[in-house]
Structure 1
């Protein structure tokens, strides 16, 4: 049965209002999704109807009409897709919406003519109304929003936009200020009858009157970030970060279900932009297990088309906006060329020529063809697949004190074996194009991530050749981590995305939510890290070699062993195995994370990355330590690496580790199968206790102290009583003894006196006569 796809795609780089900053990647996002839909319909009987609104075409009314006149044509077996790439914002919500918005703010999409001539943004309540209208015919509805839902993302809300000091420059952030005007309910796309019907008819005593309830429609939503976060643009690709990785995932495997598509996109976005958290929701959770767009876009062998014209010569129909990489170095993007009628393009020995990318333009790339087995006819069209990509460089912007910058620039030039330019990083002249900034300030080097202005490592003291080289080695450490984090399944992988199942368990129960959120728990007054276990199961019919890596937020890459100390394991069909032989894995937040104690931070991110290959490969080449430890104990990271096994994934690992590649013409001319690995990843976010939990712990500790005091007093008081009683007894005995002694002395004195008186009576006194 034939199906129809009705797509409403909206991309806005430039806005009518002079108060709204421009963007650069929104139109490119729409160009890529349009091309993807046109190339990937699985059934020739399926039909595609795209309504594209670019810049000035994307007025508020045009978007509303696009829903009502275009998407509402979709029937029960069809697909309705709304894709918006542009600015997002918020506006003050009327009191009737406060039951839905605790912060009293509506989320909005900023249309081209928003905030001019009393034109309002398109509020989330209005989008819900439009979705409900489309869903009346029960199509498969998908909403994709690459915009920010928070206000004040580009400047402070108190800035005076009319001031000469206010400069509307490109920021790479898809957000504008909150609309603070009081919006009347009559400005919403709701008739008076609809407004009345949407208010609760509950009894006034329920306090439910005068509350708005959103009209319901069945849909799946993929959003670039949380409603309090900023959606960023990929500065070098001129695309939205979310759109770039979302479409990259789809181009590699268009048959992914929504849950797996989100897993991959989310992990890639957050590995490079930690403060942007893509979101997924569905009115029915079962929808998340359906293939993207209901399966109407399926898995196909991905190829480019090669043509010849007088202006560009030989070229492929893909350029910078498609993610084609150009390199000035020895590494080039390489292609294998096939006749247009060849079905299986995974067998490289069937290629009739090879080519290299010589120039990357926005929507096409010029190529240089060599190694022709037969002369290519300029009148014919050919297929091409990518066989090799240059590993991407980390773009570094140098700024600060001149002496420090000069030392850093010299270190970049001699970072490889002390003789040649760094193999991992390259200097850029524009801050907005950089991934990181190396700042020389106050006799110290600071490494700052441009996307969130976060300091990545402790400052490196001194402006010397040694300290500058230490800073460059730290940047190379980060570059290798990013390259490993972004290894993804090839477009034409022979291994399906669900070949090996990775499951995470906590307390004997599998965790199905994604991303996985774990929290420290209070136990007897102590905070204990969460515990997980990980299991792999080979669901395919082939033996597969599996490696499980943990990529930490401190740029470490560690291998998680399965049996003994073995990082990799060959899984037979149907076999399952537990990481660490089934032992518990503690998700501990490092005490030195952010150079503060653990309770100073709320979240720490780990990426569990599973790499599956048909052939065994040396995963030890991917392992590296914590950047802080490596930075304090630097080692030579430029050691030459030799890989004995010859397969495409080992070649990729070798490039990541050493950038040493063999010239294409000298590679062994033996049959080789294209693309023989697959990757998947799970993002785990471990949270430290929030304020409430911290208070609970303190209260428990206080109660525990009081309990111990009570027990102590209960045990000590009898002892004190006994001691006091003994003292009192001793005192009484002492007093009694003193009384006895006093009585004895008194009796003795009385006795002596009596004796004296008696003697006087017995011997009377006589007087001498002579004296008389």
Structure 2
């Protein structure tokens, strides 16, 4: 892999000269040498034509597997958008980079639409494209006598088309939305500052980014942005809390920003979420928009913080000792479920000694106090993180969303639910997901259409049924809102066993059909697309509200081309529940939930019998909170203290039908 870098720094503007851009670019060049093939344009050399040529003549050399980096330190400027491009600019204005010869209008600024064309040309060659823009697009002047703003006042009108790249003169560009990663000094309407730092003028964004790269090496773009924001927020004056300079990363919800900086050319790896100190205290960049539940009853999400990333990207993980390979567990057959696999021994790849994803000692925890749309305000539990240092975190425990049930007016039923069903919330009929009807000695759980979900019974029995249903539903929806393991392990289905039959990937929803009275059968396997072993558990959640891990109760799955056979290589039959005749039109649904983890998980706490058998079993639900630390392979359900690595889930809905009807 080759890194081609084009670095542009301009202090000597004829209008609004700056002081920190050239030092920023020289510092970036020093850091990138010898990792990158550099072209550096400073001051008088940084003309519009030279920048465009740098894109096409230098960055254009990047091909598949290469990275192309464009780092710009200078003025930015906004202008009214040209009518031809108005539909591409919701704000009604275009943003441009001010070259040394465009500041006074001699030539046009390099507009964002032109930059999209140049990015698209390089990305089309298969290169990974990154832009670092230390500028802003709001008018600027000297602030407080010593702080400069890297932006010029807005232009009144749009640039004529004949002064732009020829590719823009015939039609509006249609750039790909996720063709590159952009690290920006601030938001679109904010200011980018430069000031005296470490004895000389520097851009606050570039200085913090370079410091982050030296500390974190090839950490992910998300981590770098969090580290930069933390450093800027801790520096007093403009660019600190309340000043309106918040670094940003684009595209914010894409897997692109989980990649290491420049593909790892500077060393290091990626983590999915970050703990850092900000203006409102400690925070984790996961919130309601990522799927976390609100803090309720004093319970919010719990995160486990790892050590700050080192230059080599490998955070220490205890003694590095991996567990031995484990045998398959059993899944006893039960009435009301057509999938009851038999126990057998299973050969998967054990994690090698020193495996980087082996379990380690209990981690350092932080718990959410407030969950906001895009972040969680947290407090450390029994430890003191270092202010200014970002910590990679993974989701250790999470409050599960309550099941909202219309219990009716009977206080006896409400009392039983309060005692036996901690995951259930009594609500009015208008906000309910289920309802309970009946008399004080015979209640029945029903859906909103009046369909009975289980046999009637006294209040304590129905309360246990409600808790069972709530836990089953919570398991079905279980997900880690930000995980770098997402999508790394595939569930594949084939018509024959063995390594020569890789099958097709199952995701989303799958439909299978009976052939006469015979249920459909498939051979399932797991394929690990990462380069290290991962611990996998495959749950089957049935429409009789059973959950079991008999198909694949837990083992290390080695990297491809190795395939781990589900059910020890036996065919999996997707049949109707026991006792249900295969009449035309009959249907059964299974949700296959794959859990992938860096550390072993015990599947026992996930086990639920069919809802009809709830009364035979003691309650084994988390009471509205799932603690992944209680799921270590040598711990009983409910024990605490296990080290939790990153984890992810995926779900495949399998609908089996009998043709006809």
Q: Which bracket does the TM-score occupy, shorter chain normalised?
A: 0.3 to 0.5
Q: Where is the helix percentage greater, Structure 1 or Structure 2?
A: 1
Tell me the TM-score normalised to structure 2 length.
Answer: 0.47
Between 1 and 2, higher relative CO (CA 8 Å, sep ≥ 6) is seen in 2
Larger-Rg structure: 1
